[in-house]
Amino acid sequence: MSWIPPNLAQACVYYTNVTTCQPATFLFLELITSLLGYSKESQKYSDFGTDFRGIKYADVKFSNTFFDEQGPVTEEYDFVVVGAGTAGCVVANRLSEVSHWKILLLEAGDEEPEVADVPAFPPVLQRSSIDWMYTTEPAQHSCLARDNGRCNWARGKVMGGTSTINYMIYIRGHPKDYDEWEQDGNEGWSYSKVLPYFIKSEDNRNPEKIEPYYHGTGGYQTVEVFPYQDENTIGIIKAYQELGLEYLDQNTEKMIGTMLLQHTTRDGQRLSANRAFITPIRSKRENLIVQPNSHVTRILIDPKSKTAYGVEYIQKGKLIQAIARKEVILSAGSINSPMLLMLSGVGPADHLAQNNIPVIKDLAVGFNLQDHATIDGVLFQLTNYTATTVSDQERQDDVYEWKQSHQGPLSATGPLQTNAFIQTKYEREHGRPDIQISIDAANVANFMTDPILTYNTAVLPLSYYDGLMARPILLNPESRGRVLLNSSDPTFGAPLIFANTFSKEIDLLRIVEGVKQSLNLERTHIFRHFGIQLIRTPWPACAHLPFASDEYWACIAMAYTTTIFHPVGTCKMGPKQDVSAVVDPELRVYGIKNLRVIDASIMPKIVRGNTNAPVLMIGEKGSDLVKAAWLHEKDGQAQNYEDGFDFGNLFSKFK
């Protein structure tokens, strides 16, 4: 099954002057589809290609082999892991280290296409066939200028999950983020206790650029600096230093400063969690069964004993049940994990009742949604001196260069390699950032022509640009959102994402201060030397306000809201007395035996930094929690089927 790029024809209904709607862009998409649109894994493993968009539960047919005259024929495993994203890949790897355990890893999406390996290609991966293409629900304080008041929330529907379509940044967050988790009753989650898990997964290739004490080598996940930096990238780092930000390793206990970022790549290629943790073992461990294109519809839970005993999933239009002798582990992410729990009868009783789902356990599933929001609009113009724009032929040549050598401009993400963590006047705790500044590549003419169409048609590589978009990122939002089932089609309909971005005034105030601090870049010697200037043309949605006033930037934030795609918190981890908690500190779902959630959704509070590295850590620590329960049974941690659960009568309801 080949990768399908974003459908630009739909966005470019009318002929415009926006570059991404020109014939050259369509030809570029054809080139990379033909050259890089297939998966290396598809050549090795069976292709179960199925697209579940639009399918209805009533359309699903039971497998001819699922029932026979003697009763149902089922698949049996020790553990069923739902979701082959960042955490799921780690969990499947670590559990399959136990050779006598049989592990099933299920993924709704396809095999990872080669196009995802190109570091400069994240824009073209969003809204493509490997993206769930979720959008937020309209809100009063965010995404106001977007189509229908909705922001895109890209989530990976592919082996590797969002680690296959993200921007590959490896940042862990501030140590006190984890200390707060433990202080709130989550024993074992302090920084000192999770640091070994960060180190365990890591294979850091740049010892000269880091503080060795905080890093590891020899792990599955390679972390390194890109092999390519253009002049602007180096210049931005120098500009931050000129403004007084110290250059340091921001994956230590000190974050305020600047850094040339490390990424989850290896030798000029993306190294997703799939490529890092699953590909090396997939053909070697017979006890690991990997099933892509397998859409899980619910967790099987016995309503009397409240024990999870498997999952139901669809593959090739057939309904299949996989039985878990030990545990079901939900690693479907902060949107799909709460959705699956609710579809299975675990969630807010009133919401489940509204969707005619019998309630097995009333829990605050789907609440506590948090994200790192940012904005479009702080745009700097480059001169020809440092602009990296190229001809169509040069861009094509760079594709072939990357294909052959994994070098050149496409082996990096342009100015997004730079990073700054800062404090605004609203942050009271010394040394802890509340704003991160990322500098994104931009096409000035496109944005000035139509900022919304530019947002909707962004597919070109990050390597080529004539503008810099400074993005202040809100690191510690106080606003909270919620994920709900789609009442028109709870199982297959896109969930309702109420992000509630900027619903708390303090979040908007911090963003405005972040904008104002990013504007200081214009007065640095390096920006003046390069001739980089802020574009002072007001953007359409806020042209009625004085340019650069606090009111103007607040308007820009609410109108041109976007995100760096870090949803967390919807299956909150917390102590038993916390009524908002869904899982305990060992990631077991409250009130349901043999069911855990191991992914970003368990974060009680979002970390102050990018979330991929923390989810790797959660996968590592979660795997050890599972092993401790089943390899070293004690204090009732391991719930066996013989203890209060009739495994022999499991299928009686289906006869």
CA distance 137 to 493: 14
Among 567, 521, 536, 512, CA closest to 420 = 521
What's the rounded mean pLDDT across residues 214-230? Answer: 97
296 is in an annotated binding site: yes
CA distance 599 to 413: 26
Q: How far is CA 73 from the centre of its chain?
A: 36
Identify residue 436 by its one-letter amino acid code: Q
Check: CB of residue 477 under 8 Å from CB of residue 506: no
Give the pLDDT band of residue 72 (cuts 50, 70, 90).
very low
Cβ neighbours of residue 359 under 8 Å, at least 6 residues apart? 345, 347, 349, 352, 353
> What pLDDT shows up at residue 234?
98
> What pLDDT shows up at residue 75?
87
Which residue stretches of 188-302 are H helix?
Answer: 191-201, 231-242, 273
Q: How many CB atoms lie within 10 A of CB 46?
A: 9
Give the pLDDT band of residue 633 (cuts 50, 70, 90).
low
Q: Which helix or strand (DSSP H or E) is residue 510 part of?
A: helix 505-518
158 is in an annotated binding site: yes
| 331-362: b (≥16 Cβ within 10 Å) or e | bbbbbbbbbbbbbbbbbbeebbeebebebbbb
Check: CB of residue 201 under 8 Å from CB of residue 220: yes
Residue 135 predicted with pLDDT over 90: yes
Check: CB of residue 205 under 8 Å from CB of residue 256: no
Strand partners, 604: none
> What pLDDT shows up at residue 60?
44
Angle between helices 191-201 and 612-631 (to 10 degrees): 100
> What pLDDT shows up at residue 648?
38
Residue 641 predicted with pLDDT over 80: no
Check: CB of residue 63 under 8 Å from CB of residue 318: yes
568 is in an annotated binding site: no
> What pLDDT shows up at residue 22?
93
> Mean pLDDT across the chain, nearest whole number?
92
> What pLDDT shows up at residue 16?
79
**Which is it for strands 561-563 and 61-62: parallel, antiparallel or unpaired?**
unpaired
Which residue stretches of 299-359 are H helix?
Answer: 333-343, 349-354
Q: What is the pLDDT of residues 184-209, one digit of tens each?
A: 999 999 999 999 999 999 999 999 98
CA distance 147 to 151: 8
> What pLDDT shows up at residue 40?
81
Residue 639 predicted with pLDDT over 60: no
In terms of phi and psi (left: phi > 0; alpha: psi -120 to 50; beta: otherwise), the region of 603 is beta
Cβ neighbours of residue 500 under 8 Å, at least 6 residues apart? 139, 141, 142, 369, 479, 480, 481, 482
Q: What is the pLDDT of residues 168-186, one digit of tens each?
A: 999 999 999 999 999 999 9
In terms of phi and psi (left: phi > 0; alpha: psi -120 to 50; beta: otherwise), the region of 377 is left
CA distance 317 to 55: 9
Among 131, 195, 535, 601, CA closest to 366 = 601
Structure tokens at 310: 């498997």
- Annotated catalytic, 100? no
Q: What is the pLDDT of residues 563-616, one digit of tens each?
A: 999 999 999 999 999 999 999 999 999 999 999 999 999 999 999 999 999 999
Is the four-CA dihedral 129, 131, 132, 135 of positive or negative sign?
negative
How much is the CA Rg of the chain, to the nearest whole Å? Answer: 24
- Give me the catalytic one of 141, 215, 351, 566: 566
Residue 42 predicted with pLDDT over 80: no
CA distance 441 to 457: 14
CA distance 532 to 518: 13
Residue 61 predicted with pLDDT over 50: no
DSSP letter for each residue of 363-428: --TT-SBB--EEES--EEE--TTT-----HHHHHHHHHHHHHHS-SGGGS-GGGGEEEEE--TT--
CA distance 139 to 508: 14
> What pLDDT shows up at residue 228?
97
Q: What is the pLDDT of residues 245-271, one digit of tens each?
A: 999 999 999 999 999 999 999 999 999
Torsions phi, psi for 383 (to 5 deg) = -95, 175
CA distance 164 to 568: 18
Q: How far is CA 58 from the centre of its chain?
A: 31
Residue 288 predicted with pLDDT over 90: yes
Give the pLDDT band of residue 56 (cuts 50, 70, 90).
very low
Q: Domain 8-37+113-157+226-260+371-563 - what CATH class?
A: alpha beta
Give the pLDDT band of residue 63 (cuts 50, 70, 90).
very low
DSSP letter for each residue of 144-176: TTSGGG--EE--B-BTTGGGGTS--B-----HH
What's the rounded mean pLDDT across residues 624-647? Answer: 57
Identify residue 131 by its one-letter amino acid code: D
Give the pLDDT band of residue 1 (cuts 50, 70, 90).
low
Domain limits of the chain?
8-37+113-157+226-260+371-563
Q: How many residues does the chain have?
A: 655
In terms of phi and psi (left: phi > 0; alpha: psi -120 to 50; beta: otherwise), the region of 133 is left
What's the rounded mean pLDDT across residues 517-543? Answer: 98
Measure the CA dihedral 626/631/637/642, to 10°: 110
Share of the chain above pLDDT 70, in %: 92
What's the rounded mean pLDDT across residues 380-385? Answer: 97
What's the rounded mean pLDDT across residues 85-91? Answer: 98
